[in-house]
Structure 1
């Protein structure tokens, strides 16, 4: 079929939006010249899309009743079985609901996407199924993944398994809650500002944000390509390392990947902490909202690692704070361009595009008033930066990000792992439905002070549970060199073997 052609009047109006003026005669002449391009569009319109083949068999799914979903952690339930054998045979998995599972609805926590059903599987899904895992459904995630709290999802707030009415963290809220509650063995999360590690800290799970580009993001709805990470959330270290072995590696379709270095992560699990060089990051303990009880638990965990033979010493990386600041122009302008104006895809990259998802995401414009306050805030900052300063601060921040990475790299020449609190606070109560915008946003962003930096620098970072305060979990964050996830697993496994974190 032929695509719509503009009239001369429409072309004149279009030219005005491009800051040009066309006379009626000029518009008519340009329209004639444009026909060759439009014929190319017609050809593309007639061709079938070139995407992965959908599964041959249907995948029945259903929205669970509230009585079967007390944590509001499930968006949709299903049972998609993988290969009969493999590294993950017999393991059950939940997928964050920004990950495409063909034939099963995907909402990304946001009403504008309600009703969208992916036509093909994300790469991580294909790899999980080939490794023998069974996908039990889609885990609730926060509104367009723009919250470290768990009160922003349009389906319903996700409850912390340790205390109903409290935050499970975000934006991979349902993923961590389901693992912590024992409803699945493992889950896949996404991380652009801490969204794997924050819910892991609040819920008491093991959450790995791998090196940027190690796990392909193909088939996962983007926020900002230079910040997008995907990784495993599990109930123990071994499952996490095993899952990363399945997920890691290039797929040839994700521009975030540049020759990722894959390792045998499970081989690090029995090496112990003896001889590990651990740097205690001073800046990680200087957050204004650091709860001293959280600091005490984290310091006790560090002392335990020292007692296991690790060499522990303080270290300062001043650029840790800088990297957190860089997140604002990169994250806000980037997501405004790619997620919103670019309809979840954006431009200028080669790889696999989900055209149907792009078409669905266009609809946010008719429901913009219903976007979450945390997303609106980021969009206001991003749009202002784009309009007033034409993206110069995004560009400058990307340049300066190399300095922040270099500062981490320099410290990591002397230490195998840097440690700090994952989040500065304990899980907080959900804000009331009639709360102010300020309270809503505070509950969404108050916990990202340590986690956003590694999304800017791309370093692998892992949250591990290290104790309880008033019955709520505390997370210890480990950071390593690019593609040194094995060292994180080595330290995490040594700590895990030394004690049950629930008794600490």
Structure 2
């Protein structure tokens, strides 16, 4: 046992004084006598010495292989649709499949030396000292990173108005939502400012803005793309993936960023294999069976239903058989996702400061440190959806513990099985990406209820596949009143090549 006098003044972890420990004991209902509490406190100090040892050791880090300057915060006139938080110019290898391609990186992903906020003032002033794994992979493959694209406040919104730098505007109509939380990535791609971008997806945050901007966005199979170096919402629904104007570019970018990240990301299976997604693109869908999920079409706007159904039926011209299929549990998919993301997000993103607990792998320590301080100092600046998750997560945890989270995760296995059973019969499943086209951004006099509905009301079809982990791609199926309508294609887990092929076949039919 280390010297107690030293430990009581431990500069790393302060020991609780007698009154603090007594109060903690009362909160837990222990009713421990003072003399026993004193002994517990003395023994606790021995453990605090181990924390001091841990603090003195050097943690492993992630590589920063390519030189760069910090870049700059763009002025409004240099920031079309407010798509960018920060602009830079980082050149990767002089050859590779991404050579000549420009890429935007969502602002929840670490790029060393480039400021990052995750859409919120709680992280203002943070500059990562690491490159996320996928950032290094993009640069290794010859990509050129042009900056950090704006995202929603802590990425917890499907609309595009909660970012602390202001709303990201829809390139088709600036008074409408771009969608979130990867709205900046979608707008930058649509506007031609970059060839490709990286988005993140926990409830639809790649597919929502891709759908409302009319581009291609893929939420890969859970675990296919390492999440190392990105801020986590909830580890069992965290995804990173490609966004581009066409399917081929999505496939090229996926090939570059996918694959095992050693022991750094426990989301990934150890035997993970990555095929050449570009070589597997084929417009011929002979002998394919495609299921239109009836529950995914209701309730959706009538025009959205007809646009997506008409688009899906065109795949019969590629020799596929297209027919309706019922998956009744899909109607409850959003309900099953909700406790996982709300309670899990409360534990991981709030209490765990964007890293969570109980996962082997790499933790971005500087993010954890910054978020803890930020939550203390800037919590009033958090968005309505973030305040909702903190209040609701705290209420559920205090009164019910993990009961609903545990049941939802168990039900998620049943939901996964339901989709898998359908995918045993069908090569891919199709439904509208979103139930309606891009809505108007909320006005200054909008009520809290109106703002929350605007932020979270569109995820009924997207969120279930974050909890089950199936790959899901959105591609523009057409328009309704001049606004893009997305068609979502879902496949078996780790058969991302098939959803890309189906999207490619549709894309070729539209040419």
What range is the shorter-chain TM-score in? over 0.9
- In structure 1, what is the Cα distance between the partners aligned to 2:501 and 2:132? 29
Taking the TM superposition and a 5 Å limit, the aligned residue runs for 1:203-352 are 203-252=213-262, 253-259=264-270, 260-287=272-299, 290-352=300-362
Shift of 1:385: 2.0
Is the contact made by 1:459 and 1:481 (CA closer than 8 Å) also made in structure 2? yes
Q: Who is 1:185 aligned against?
A: 195
TM-score (norm. length: structure 2): 0.94
Deviations 1:258-300 (A, max 9, x none): 233422211221242332210011001112xx12111121111
Distance 1:28 1:138, change over 3 A: same
2:399 counterpart of 1:388: yes
Structure-2 separation of matches of 1:154 and 1:55? 31
3-state DSSP class of the match of 2:43?
helix
Residue 405 in structure 1 maps to residue 416 in structure 2: yes
Corresponding position of 1:425: 436
Matched, 1:9 2:16: no
Unaligned runs of 5+ in 2: 1-9
SS at match of 1:239: helix
- In structure 2, how many angstroms separate the alpha carbons of the residues matched to 1:407 and 1:224? 23
Structure 1: gaps spanning 5 or more residues: none
Deviation at 1:349, TM superposition (A): 1.2
Equivalent residue for 2:497, pick from 455, 477, 486: 486
Contact 1:323 1:457 in 2 (8 A): no
Quote the offset at 1:105 in angstroms.
Answer: 1.0
Cα distance change of structure 1 residues 477 and 234 upon mapping to structure 2, 3 Å threshold: same
Aligned length: 498
The answer to whether structure 1 residue 499 and structure 2 residue 499 are counterparts is no
Shift of 1:19: 3.3
- 1:467 is paired with a residue of what secondary structure? strand
Aligned in 2, Cα 1:216/1:419: closer, same or farther, shift over 3 Å?
same
Aligned to 1:62, the other structure's residue is in SS state coil
Q: CA deviation at 1:347?
A: 1.3
SS at 1:242's partner residue?
Answer: helix
In structure 2, distance between residues paired with 1:34 and 1:439: 49
Q: 1: CA distance between counterparts of 2:149 and 2:508?
A: 29
1:38 corresponds to which of 31, 48, 56: 48
CA distance in 2, matches of 1:41, 1:357: 19
SS of 2:164's equivalent in the other structure is coil
Report if aligned partners of 1:275, 1:310 keep a CA contact under 8 Å in 2: yes
Q: Quote how far apart the aligned CAs of 1:422 are.
A: 0.4
1:66-145 matches, within 5 Å, as 66-145=76-155
Structure 1, 302-311 or 263-272: larger mean CA deviation: 263-272
Does 1:414 find its partner at 2:425? yes
Give secondary structure in 2 for the equivalent of 1:267: coil
Bigger mean CA deviation after superposition, 139-148 or 28-37? 28-37
2:452 corresponds, among 431, 441, 447, to: 441
Distance in 1 separating the partners of 2:287 and 2:249 = 24
Q: Distance in 2 between matches of 1:480 and 1:383?
A: 35
- The CA deviation at 1:403 is 0.5
Superposition deviation, residue 24 in structure 1: 4.0
Distance 1:415 1:388, change over 3 A: same
Structure 1 equivalent of residue 472 of structure 2: 461
Q: Structure 1 residue 56: deviation in Å?
A: 7.3
How far apart, in 2, do the equivalents of 1:469 and 1:286 lie? Answer: 17
For the Cα contact (< 8 Å) 1:168–1:199, is it kept in 2? Answer: yes
> Do 2:429 and 2:489's aligned partners in 1 also have CA atoms closer than 8 Å?
yes
* Superposed CA RMSD: 1.5
Question: C-alpha offsets along residues 352-391 of structure 1, whole Å, 9 cap, x if unaligned?
Answer: 1111111111121333332211222233332222121111
Q: CA deviation at 1:53?
A: 4.2
Residue by residue, what CA displacement relative to the aligned partner does 1:463-502 show, whole Å, maximum 9, x if unpaired? 00111222211100000011111111111111111124xx
State the TM-score, normalizing by the size of structure 1.
Answer: 0.96
* Aligned partner of residue 232 in structure 2, secondary structure: coil
Q: Distance in 2 between matches of 1:488 and 1:275?
A: 15
Query: Shift of the alpha carbon at 1:336?
Result: 0.7
Deviations 1:184-209 (A, max 9, x none): 00000011111111111000111000
Q: Secondary structure at the match of 1:153?
A: coil
SS in 2 for 1:473: strand
Deviates more, 1:253-262 or 1:435-444: 253-262
Whether the 8 Å contact between 1:278 and 1:312 is mirrored in structure 2 is yes
